[in-house]
Amino acid sequence: MAVKVYGPHCASTKRVLVCLVEKEVEFEVVPVDVTKGEQKDPEYLKLQPFGVVPVIKDGDYTLYESRAIMRYYAEKYRSQGVELLGKTIEERGLVEQWLEVEAHNFHPQAYNLCLHGLFGSLFGVTPDPKVIEESEAKLVQVLNIYEERLSKTKYLAGDFFSIADISHLPFLDYVVNNMGKKYLLEERKHVGAWWDDISSRPSWNKVLQLYRAPI
Ligand SMILES: N[C@@H](CCC(=O)N[C@@H](CS)C(=O)NCC(=O)O)C(=O)O
């Protein structure tokens, strides 16, 4: 039975979709229009009580939080598709470390930048230039640390592609391509090379083509 993925057009959901494509897991999508508030419908809240996408249904099993869903499928289908968790426990530790860095250091800055500079109007948020300026300055500091790391390893957790890299795709794509901030990569050659590599993966391009965001 195919996995049901709710809200395919949203950035957080795209993490999950890329992971499923890399793991060669069959899925079907269920539209949830967040611009119309469908993520707050009582029926949807039974699946995801916090009222955000994504959520997946796999038979009777329901799971939400995009990074938890990636961890789950990368582990469940360990021997299928691309290995996304590293081969040793030490590699796995580094995957977890960089996934946490993405969630707690990278994401808040990238999200605020996008909320105030890109899609805020869809959610009734008035853009605040001060938030944009501060978020970009903080994102630059994070990317400087990435530059140092990526001067030593091809991907964030090591010389292997992982869910830590996947997790960056949707919001870095918004920042670089939808907000026109490619200079953030051009000023950091190792981050730029990493981005060129991960954003040219067929899995990401397939997901982008199939489920374009409404912005
Ligand atoms: N931590 C959650 C965040 C999910 C999230 O913020 N989803 C956004 C779309 S990218 C959403 O549903 N926004 C609608 C809303 O906040 O009402 C995850 O990673 O699954």
d(CA 186, CA 144): 12
**Atom 11 of ligand 1, nearest CA residue:** 52
Please indicate whether residue 11, judged by its CB atom, sits closer than 6 Å to ligand 1: yes
Cβ of 65 below 6 Å from ligand 1: yes
Average pLDDT, the chain: 97
How far are the Cα atoms of 95, 126, 192, 213 from residue 85, in angstroms, in the given order? 6, 39, 23, 28
H or E, element range at 135 = helix 129-150
Average pLDDT over residues 183-195: 97
Question: Which structural domains are found in the chain, ordered by start?
Answer: 3-83+206-210 (3.40.30.10), 89-201 (1.20.1050.10)
- Range 77-97 average pLDDT: 98
Q: Could you tell which of 47, 48, 52 is best to mutate to test the pocket of ligand 1, judged by most ligand atoms within 8 Å of the CB?
A: 52
Identify the residue whose tokens are 């999950």.
16
Which of 19, 53, 106, 169 to probe ligand 1 with, by most ligand atoms within 8 A of CB?
Answer: 53
Q: The whole model's pTM is what?
A: 0.98
Ligand 1 pocket: which of 12, 50, 167, 169 to mutate (most atoms <8 Å of CB)? 12
Q: Give yes or no for residue 42 having a pLDDT over 80.
A: yes
Q: What is the CA radius of gyration of the chain?
A: 17
What integer pLDDT is reported at residue 213 of this predicted model? 86
